[in-house]
Structure 1
Amino acid sequence: MSDPAEGARLAVLIDADNASAKHIERLLAEIAKYGTASVRRAYGDWTSTQLASWKSELLENSVQPIQQFSYTTGKNATDSALIIDAMDLLHAGRVDGFCLVSSDSDFTRLAARIREEGLTVYGFGQRKTPKPFVAACNTFIYVENLEPPKAPPAETAKTSLREDRRLSSLLEEAVDAAAGDDGWAQLGAVGSNLSRLASDFDSRTWGYGKLTDLMKAHPDYQVKSRPAGEGKSPNAYVRHT
């Protein structure tokens, strides 16, 4: 499989019945961090007025609409079409990873099946997305985090970081696992541990654009830089205060 930095080929498959068109431009910009969106498809019944907002976005962002009629009331034909295409792409071997855009738990098994083949799965959905689908992806990004950044959190909000038990637990485990004998942990290793511990970990969820900023704001941690060698940028390290 290609490394993302070398231009991993990604298949972007969008459940248009279950995703908002307003996020598409920022979503594709986020996907560009991981590789090249060589396949871009959006599934839905395009004869329906409910998908009218998608039509201009599809054209402007070079996303191919895949027409899927709802043959039977109560059955989601769109999901089935997306899953079939995903399996065809998987077995064709022309992509290195998948971006599944939906907040629907019906894609949980698909994500798990793709991962079984050794390919990377990036999920994109709202915060209401069921946890099984989130956990089935290598990385899951909440589309709310793709919104334009707001003002930096106030001091009272920074203090509340300590009160977020899930955040505190994740940070403690990630830092402890990467810490050396002196208690300091390289921030890059901490970030890798966080991704392993929680596929949906994203510092933007707490209002910080980078993990460094989140760690600096958290009252229980200290961040500092250490030289990395001649001609190299310094490395950031973190430890419990």
Structure 2
Amino acid sequence: MANDVTQKLAVLIDADNARPAIVNGLLAEVAKYGTAHVKRIYGDWTGPNLNGWKAALLDHSIQPIQQFAYTSGKNATDSAMIIDAMDLLYSERFNGFCIVSSDSDFTRLASRIREAGLLVYGFGELKTPKPFVSACDKFIYTEVLASEDDDEKEAPAAPRSAKELRGDTRLVNNLRGAVTDASDESGWAALGGVGSILNKRMSDFDSRNYGFSKLSGLIQGIGLFDVEERQHGNAKHVYIKLRAKGK
């Protein structure tokens, strides 16, 4: 998916379903896709459970939106977020939305925003239900965004072995399909084109989920492709090709 820093984005955070430790990584990730013209976070700020967010809000100029829980067991925060999102959508001032939550209640919201022709970037934990993940143009798991000073942060995941990667049928099939779709008549495909197709095929695709900081590392690690660098002007570009069987 091509990134465009000129995109105007609205960032809406469900405080009940996101940790303050992700905020630095979250906003850095958002900056890859555009500029956050609106940054709002929703929750009941009268309770103690959101205290960890308060310092982060000041540091990053995120506007807290107060939402009381009207009825026990019902999440009024979700409703407030959805209403605000629709108001912002109808303002026609934005190119896309960043929805930060692991709650499946936002699935229809993501679909509705995309129906209007805007991009949706989802951010949530690995437990996020698949329907919400699939409803977004791009979904980033927040486990890869937690800050280094987070006491709850686990050690960075080690890159998966070639055997583990090859055992992931969904990953292998989508990688092969993306290379085939992006390849020229000789079978070689530019890595950038492969990455673009992968993001369209798998909204939650991210090489970091497999322990690799870049797609090139994942391609090398899985060992199913031939890789070569080509010089184009002053820049080097990576090309990949399905490896012949038996090699």
Alignment-derived partner of residue 159 in structure 2? 153
- Structure 1 segments, 4+ long, off by >3 Å, are 147-152
**211, 215, 231: which is aligned to 2:215?**
211
Residue 78 of structure 1: aligned partner:
77
User: Structure 1 residue 151: deviation in Å?
Assistant: 7.4
**C-alpha separation in 2, matches of 1:15 and 1:76:** 11
Q: What secondary structure is seen at the aligned counterpart in 2 of 1:53?
A: helix
> TM-score if structure 1 supplies the norm length?
0.93
Asked if the contact 1:44–1:66 (Cα under 8 Å) also holds between the matched residues in 2, the reply is yes
CA–CA distance in 1 between the matches of 2:5 and 2:209?
Answer: 28
Aligned partners of 1:62 and 1:218: how far apart in 2?
41
Q: What amino acid is the match of 2:115?
A: E
Quote the offset at 1:216 in angstroms.
Answer: 1.2
**Cα separation, 2, equivalents of 1:173 and 1:48:** 49
Q: Distance in 1 between matches of 2:53 and 2:164?
A: 38
Q: Deviation string for 1:207-229 (max 9, x for gaps)?
A: 0011111111111112111232x
1:118-174, Cα deviation, whole Å (9 max, x unpaired)? 1110000001100000000000000012246837537xx233211221211111111
Pick one of 187, 190, 209 that aligns with 2:191: 187
1:4 to partner: Cα distance: 4.7
Tell whether the 8 Å contact from 1:159 to 1:219 is kept in structure 2 after alignment: no
Match in the other structure for 1:13: 12
Letter in 2 for 1:166: R
Q: Residue type of the partner of 1:24?
A: V
Alpha-carbon distance in structure 1 between the residues aligned to 2:120 and 2:106: 11
Q: Which runs of 5+ in 1 are unaligned?
A: none
**Higher RCO (CA-CA < 8 Å; seq separation 6+):** 2
Query: Structure 1, residues 38-86: CA drift from partner, whole Å, max 9, x if none?
Result: 1000000000111111111111111000000001112111000000000
Query: Does the 8 Å CA contact 2:5/2:31 hold for their aligned counterparts?
Result: no
- SS where residue 39 of structure 1 aligns? strand
Cα RMSD (Å): 1.6
- Please give the alpha-carbon distance, in whole angstroms, between the structure 2 residues aligned to 1:54 and 1:86: 21
1:238–1:111 distance in 2 versus 1, CA, 3 Å: same
Q: Return 5+ residue gaps in structure 2 as ranges.
A: 149-154
Aligned match of 1:48: 47
CA distance in 1, matches of 2:124, 2:181: 29
**C-alpha contact 1:222 1:238 (8 A) present in aligned 2:** yes
Cα pair distance change 1:45/1:24, threshold 3 Å: same
- Number of residue pairs aligned between Structure 1 and Structure 2: 235
Deviation at 1:96, TM superposition (A): 1.2
Correspondence for 1:236: 238
Identity rate, percent: 55
